[in-house]
């Protein structure tokens, strides 16, 4: 009896909702300006004193960050923004600067636009001379609809790691209750992931992705195929510069889906590598990785931030109103105003000052700027 699974049904109707670069981490070597060390050193001392992140901005580009009281991953200084994370350190074990670009930032600006702003910051504000910019990690992805992998499909995935020692093969399965949520293949320099993205966005609250897809995927789940290349793998392909890596995005996708990993339809042949490629995987191989930009990302992030604040406010306000027997919203808000005013006065603070302080620390995803205007 021929083998049949849901992933073999509906061939030719695979719908690609989004493709591109989801993660881009950059390692940067070069002489960091003395003024930068002074700026971040002073800001960190203040952050440690207040036990809160300190707002700083760089003088030329005006790029703003919140500098955290502690470092991360061997880096002494950790600067955070909705655009990207910026880590600086003096250890000889690591490059002077590490940049981790956020997915929302790249989807809002486009990869080229977001890189341009990063390089402006590095060139004008961070480094005192020439610097070397390298990709330490890039994740390429495609979000597809019309394919429902099953747990039994795991045995149908066949790996053809060209560099087995460098790209060690490993398989993991992820479940949420009785529901399959994904597979992971490999570790280290090259990793492949196949997982239910609609489950993840509910857990992480990525509200901008449904706008990008044009659907929320609830009735028809959207699955993500993602391949993570670290520097050791990129060097094997003679990809040295950021431009080289981005220009080779389609070739990297082709290698991952044709040479390194494939989904097969079982036959009587005991050798899996002779099984025919599943029709769905043939469609996956033809996907074009085309990073783009969209303004809906910025709007959705702002809406999501406001929604979280409103949800929190509603919880606290209704609890306080219940304690003070204020059933009407108008009466409750008037009562809250009096309570808040007393609280601030008892601590020598003013509401306008508190709002101004919060505004100064409010960072949003950088808006796209058309340089031709």
Q: Given this model, what pLDDT does residue 25 score?
A: 96
Q: How confident is the model over 288-300, as a mean pLDDT?
A: 57
Q: Given this model, what pLDDT does residue 30 score?
A: 96
Strands 54-57 and 84-88: unpaired
pTM reported for the whole predicted model: 0.75
Of 108, 117, 158, which Cα lies nearest the Cα of 292? Answer: 108
- Give CA–CA dist 223/11, Å, rounded: 16
What CA dihedral angle connects 139, 140, 146 and 149, to 10 degrees? Answer: -50
E strand or H helix at 204: helix 197-204
The answer to whether the beta carbons of residues 286 and 184 sit under 8 Å apart is no
Give the chain's radius of gyration (CA, Å): 25
User: DSSP for 88-156?
Assistant: E---TTS-SEEEEE-HHHHHHH-HHHHHHHHHHHIIIIIBSS--EEEEEEEEEEEEEES----GGGGGG
pLDDT at 105 exceeding the cut of 90: no
How many other CB atoms sit within 10 Å of the CB of residue 87? 23
The lowest-confidence range among 327-331, 339-343, 353-357 is 353-357
Taking only the tens place, the pLDDT of each residue in 5-52 is 334 444 457 899 999 999 999 999 999 999 999 999 999 999 999 888
Q: Given this model, what pLDDT does residue 176 score?
A: 61
Confidence of residue 312 (pLDDT cuts 50, 70, 90): low
- On the 0-12 / 13-18 / 19+ scale of CB atoms within 10 A, 130 is exposed
Q: Given this model, what pLDDT does residue 296 score?
A: 45
Taking only the tens place, the pLDDT of each residue in 114-130 is 898 899 999 999 999 99
- Give CA–CA dist 70/90, Å, rounded: 15
Query: Reduced to 3 states, what is the DSSP secondary structure of residue 19?
Result: strand
Of 366, 117, 120, 115, which Cα lies nearest the Cα of 241? Answer: 115
E strand or H helix at 183: strand 179-185
- Give CA–CA dist 360/355, Å, rounded: 9
């Amino acid at each position: 009896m021929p083998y049949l699974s849901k992933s073999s049904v509906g061939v030719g109707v695979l719908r690609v909702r989004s493709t591109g670069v989801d993660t881009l981490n950059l390692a940067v070597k070069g002489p960091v300006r003395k003024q930068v060390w002074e700026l971040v050193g002073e800001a960190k001392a203040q952050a440690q004193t207040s036990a809160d992140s300190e707002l700083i901005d760089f003088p030329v580009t005006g790029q703003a960050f919140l500098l955290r009281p502690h470092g991360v991953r061997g880096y002494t200084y950790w600067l955070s923004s909705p655009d990207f994370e910026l880590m600086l350190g003096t250890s000889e074990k690591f490059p002077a600067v590490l940049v981790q670009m956020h997915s929302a930032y790249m989807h809002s600006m486009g990869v080229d636009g977001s890189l341009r702003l990063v390089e402006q910051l590095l060139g004008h504000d961070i480094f005192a001379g020439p610097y070397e910019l390298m990709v330490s990690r890039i994740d390429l992805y495609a979000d597809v609809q019309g394919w429902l992998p099953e747990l039994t499909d795991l045995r149908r995935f066949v790996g053809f790691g060209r560099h087995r020692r460098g790209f060690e093969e490993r398989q993991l399965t992820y479940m949420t209750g009785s529901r399959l949520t994904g597979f992971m293949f490999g570790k280290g320099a090259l990793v492949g992931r196949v997982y239910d993205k609609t489950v993840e966005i509910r857990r992480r609250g990525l509200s901008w992705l449904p706008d990008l897809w044009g659907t929320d995927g609830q009735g028809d789940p959207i699955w993500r195929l993602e391949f993570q290349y670290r520097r050791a793998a990129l060097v094997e392909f003679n990809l040295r510069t950021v431009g080289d890596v981005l220009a080779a995005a389609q070739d990297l996708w082709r290698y991952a889906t044709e040479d390194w990993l494939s989904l097969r339809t079982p036959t009587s042949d005991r050798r899996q590598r002779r099984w025919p490629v599943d029709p769905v995987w043939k469609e996956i191989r033809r996907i074009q990785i085309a990073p783009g930009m969209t303004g809906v990302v910025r709007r959705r992030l702002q809406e999501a931030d406001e929604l979280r604040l409103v949800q929190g406010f509603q919880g606290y306000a209704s609890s306080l109103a219940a304690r003070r027997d204020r059933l009407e919203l108008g009466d409750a808000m008037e009562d809250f105003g009096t309570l808040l005013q007393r609280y601030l006065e008892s601590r020598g603070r003013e509401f306008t000052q508190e709002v101004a302080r919060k505004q100064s620390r409010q960072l949003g995803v950088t808006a796209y700027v058309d340089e031709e205007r």
